[in-house]
A and B are shown apart, each in its own frame.
Chain A
Amino acid sequence: MSKNLGITRRTGLAMALWTGVALTLPMSAQASVSFEGETIEWIIPFSPGGGSDTWARFNAPFLQKYLPGNPTVVVVNEPGGGSTKGANLYAARAKPDGLQLLGTSGSTQFPYLLNDPRVRYDYQDWKVVMASPTGGVVYTTPATGVTAPEEIGKLADQKLTYASQGATSLDLVPLLAFEAMGLDARHVFGFQGRSDGRIAFERGEVNIDYQTSSAYISNVQPLVEAGQAVPLFSWGALDEDGVLVRDPTFPDLPHFGEAYETLTGQPAEGPEFDAYFAFFAAGFPAQKLVVVPSETPDEIVTAYEAAFEAMKADPEYQSAKEAVLGTYEQVTGPQAQTLFERGTTIAPELRDQVVEMLAGEYGVRLGE
Chain B
Amino acid sequence: MADTLINALATLLTFQHLLYMLLGVSVGLTVGVIPGLGGIAGLSLLVPFLYGMDEVSALAMLIGLVAVIPTSDTFSSVLMGIPGSSASQATVLDGFPLARQGQAARALSAAFVSSMFGGLFGALVLTGFVVIARPLILMFGSAELFMLTLFGLSMVAVLAGRSLAKGLAACVVGLLIGSIGGSPATGEFRMIMGFDYLYDGIPLVVVGLGFFAIPEIADLLRRNAAIAEGNALGSGWGQGLRDWWRNVFLSLRCSGLGCMIGAIPGLGGSVVDWIAYGHAVQSTKTDPKFGQGDIRGVVAPESANNAMQGGALLPTMLFGIPGSGSMAVFLGGMVLLGIEPGPAMVGADLDITYSVIWSLAIANVMGAGICLMLALPIARLTRVPFQVLAPFMIALICFAAFQATRDLADLVALLVLGVLGVLMKRFGWPRPALLIGYVLAPQAETYFYQAVQFYDWGFVTRPGVIILALLTVASVVLGLRNRVDDTGSAGSVEAGGTDRQRLPQVLFAAAIGLFFLWALRDALGHSFLGMIFPASAAVIGLAMIALLLPQLVTAAPGHKARFDAELAVTPDQGLAGMWGGIGWIAALVAGSAVLGFYAALLLFFPAFLLLRARTRLVPAALMTASAAGVVLLLAWALSLNFPYGLAQEHMALPWPFS
Interface residues of A (CB under 8 A from B): 41, 47-50, 53-54, 57-58, 61, 74-82, 85, 118, 161, 166-168, 186, 188-190, 192-193, 195-196, 198-200, 202-203, 205-206, 214-215, 217-219, 222, 316, 319-320, 322-324, 362-365, 367-368
Contact = CB atoms under 8 A, between A and B. Distances in A.
Contacts of A74: 639
A167 B196 CA distance: 20
B554 interface: no
B142 A78 contact: no
A353 B640 CA distance: 41
A202 B138 contact: yes
Nearest to A188: B453
A324 B336 contact: yes
A193 B321 contact: yes
Nearest to B527: A363
A267 B308 CA distance: 53
B184 interface: yes
Contact of A322 (B197, B320, B338): B338
A190 B332 contact: no
Given A189-B186, A324-B335, A363-B527, A205 B141 contact: yes
Interface residues of B, number: 56
Contacts of A362: 186
A49 B43 contact: yes
B603 interface: no
B142 A205 contact: yes
B185 interface: yes
A340 to B, nearest CB: 25
A57 B329 contact: no
Contacts of B406: 77-79
Nearest to A55: B335
A240 B446 CA distance: 42
Nearest to A75: B639
A195 B48 contact: no
Contacts of B331: 49
Given A81-B196, A316-B51, A203 B138 contact: yes
A30 B340 CA distance: 36
A336 B305 CA distance: 46
Contacts, number: 144
B344 interface: yes
Most buried by A among B51, B52, B640: B51
A75 B45 CA distance: 11
B529 interface: yes
Contacts of A41: 639, 641
Given A49-B43, A363-B527, A188 B344 contact: no
Given A205-B141, A206-B454, 17 more contacts: A49-B322, A50-B328, A50-B332, A54-B332, A57-B47, A61-B51, A75-B639, A82-B199, A166-B187, A186-B453, A190-B185, A195-B320, A200-B141, A214-B340, A215-B320, A320-B337, A364-B186
Given A54-B335, A316-B51, A190 B184 contact: yes
Contacts of B453: 161, 186, 188
Contact of A47 (B40, B187, B266, B639): B40
Given A190-B184, A363-B186, A323 B48 contact: no
Contacts of B199: 80-82, 118
Interface of B: 40, 43-44, 47-48, 51-52, 137-138, 141-142, 182, 184-189, 196-197, 199-200, 265-266, 319-322, 328-329, 331-332, 335-344, 405-407, 446, 449-450, 453-454, 527, 529-530, 639-641
B187 A76 contact: no
A351 to B, nearest CB: 17
Contacts of B189: 367-368
25 contacts: A48-B44, A48-B329, A48-B332, A50-B328, A53-B332, A54-B335, A57-B47, A82-B199, A166-B182, A188-B449, A189-B185, A195-B319, A196-B265, A196-B321, A219-B319, A219-B342, A222-B343, A319-B338, A320-B337, A320-B338, A323-B338, A323-B339, A323-B340, A363-B529, A364-B186
A189 B187 contact: yes
| A-B pairs, 4 with minimum CB distance | A190-B184, A49-B328, A74-B639, A190-B446
B200 A81 contact: yes
A270 B196 CA distance: 37
Contacts of A80: 196-197, 199-200, 405, 407
B334 to A, nearest CB: 8
Nearest to A319: B338
Contacts of A203: 138, 141
Contacts of A161: 453-454
A217 B341 CA distance: 11
A234 to B, nearest CB: 18
A196 to B, nearest CB: 6
A202 B319 CA distance: 10
A198 B186 contact: no
A367 B198 CA distance: 12
A199 B343 contact: no
Contacts of B184: 189-190
Nearest to A167: B187
B133 to A, nearest CB: 13
Nearest to B47: A57
Contact of A54 (B48, B336, B407, B530): B336
Contacts of B319: 195, 198-199, 219
A184 B142 CA distance: 22
A322 B328 CA distance: 20
A173 to B, nearest CB: 16
A218 B344 contact: yes
A363 B320 contact: no
A142 B458 CA distance: 24
A109 to B, nearest CB: 17
A85 B527 CA distance: 26
A80 B197 CA distance: 8
A186 B450 CA distance: 12
Given A57-B336, A76-B641, A324-B336, A48 B446 contact: no
A319 B336 CA distance: 11
A79 B197 CA distance: 11
Given A218-B342, A365-B188, A188 B332 contact: no
Contacts of A81: 196, 199-200
